[in-house]
Structure 1
């Protein structure tokens, strides 16, 4: 052993080994870093949203997209594969794609140092449809009720009242209306320039969300006034004119009045009456009366507040009117009435009134009625009731008139006894049965059947 150790070469080898060990120990103790081996990972990014680029949305609509999300599997260093999913993008370029259905490739964008392993799907089917535009009138609908006693007018749309609606060609045919809603609950004043948003609806009343409306809103005026009702003006004559004068005409400067108030009050008003006192006649053939108008009970006001009534008078004239028909009023349908006197069943009356009124009078304008109610068969003297047009009267000799009427019972209708009719039919059947077959019936079929006359 001592001999082996004393050998020069062996000593050199041992010295080299010891020096290497010492060197290694020194360097390990100094903390000098050692480069690590790179580690490559894979990661799945689910539900990456597809971004549409280059699409002409002014002229087309994307009516169908097979899916709007994809699944990405990527590879890269652990430090490069981030957890910020917004760094992973998938795009669909439709810049050169026109109307119709086609399959288009997807384009991916990844963070630096990251590569794509797979993308599912990598191709998607898209459907593109051309847009069309249609002009349509705006419809404004009110919601709610105005304050009590207020009358709502029709909405007024500023401008032409027409907007343009753009929709996919397949949906445009379903467009029914473009409508805006304005709330008028409790308003007491007119609405001016109210901006109302517009919505397009289809034939089923559903909102068409794809519709592009230009303009998307309009300005609307809502007229509102106090609730009123127009009713005719009726003029009543009271008092008496001086002797020797009759009324030729009565005219007011208005034909009707407007009464303001609540709906309940107005529903009970059908006309408005004013009285003209003829005893205030001032001695001329034409007198004007000013009559103040008072609002009916429960109403707020009346317009106009006064009217002017012009009364024309003149000396009386008279004329005999012939051929006036007589109307009989009876309650017994079993009695027939016959006017015996006058034989012509018409009357003549002497009528008194203003000449211009009498000149327009016709026989049918006068109503003569005789009431036969309660009378039995026989001859009767029956008074008549005369109804004349306004401003006309009867001469004194015609104030009381009677006619002679005969009432007779109506004859009862003749009724054929069923037994006799049956016997007659039986006899005919018997005779027919005794005839030869060719004479028994018109057609040689059943005897006693229907015979054509």
Structure 2
């Protein structure tokens, strides 16, 4: 018979042996608690059971009129049924656990946790089964926002936090009437640790009662923008330019302009009280032969936090040097009022002064602008030769017809 021939065929026996080996291997290695990802070579039977843990619980109610408490954050769901339906439910995640309060009255009550989105072939059990829920009348209150600073003592030395700016500066707080009535403040917290510049950040809000207890209420908006200016004590002082070297002999400075001519120094208050100007800004005249503009760094004192601006522009205007003679400038005598001074040479007590500088500068200088003086305080009675001292406008040089004078001093005893 054909069947006998088939059974006696070595190829048929080999094929059957391979098939049985595959089925035996699959049976031994298959996980009995899960549905295989590929169709089994052997038929399966019976129900499969799974637990879906920590499923969020949704709640439905009129959120414009009410608030609720007592809703569990999550529930565990136990499902049992055909393996393919159990696997599909877990993988597709189309189910929902919820509590329906749309027809509930104000006050407390026990409400079932409900499920939907599961196959009708599945047996679904929820833990917990019910929840003790309170439905409250919802009330609103507009509250200003207070900004509290954290680590205020740890702000960078020399800096301080100014008045914060909050946008928006008021928020709507909603919740049960008994909780809303307890509201004392709505706060935003800003950390000042190591701050050196203005802080701008979005900050979540917290609601507190008079005793500092945080209240769980709805806040709209939940986050506000806070801007905290961070500054240091400061003082505005002028700038002093120091000159190094000399211009070529045929040139003179018409003007030196500093832009800006003042800077603001930030630092400890006790140091700011001592400083009157910024020095050590130096220009080298020996390198200049014509009008020049240059940017110079403003030196920062060791104790200062910063200086603003940190650079200034120095504009130097240069012209050809000319001369102008101012005749008969009276010599002023400085010394004790009890000392009598008589000029021996020159007898009239006057000298000529030749001033040198830019023509546009000299044109505006008169004899009243030049002061020539001598000092007799250290001299005893008798005749003495004393050097003269001259003072006058900036950017002007001078030469005296006599650099010293002879005077007779009589001191009253």
- Taking structure 2 as the reference length, what is the TM-score of the superposition? 0.44
More strand by share: 2
- Based on CA coordinates, which of the two structures has the bigger radius of gyration? 1
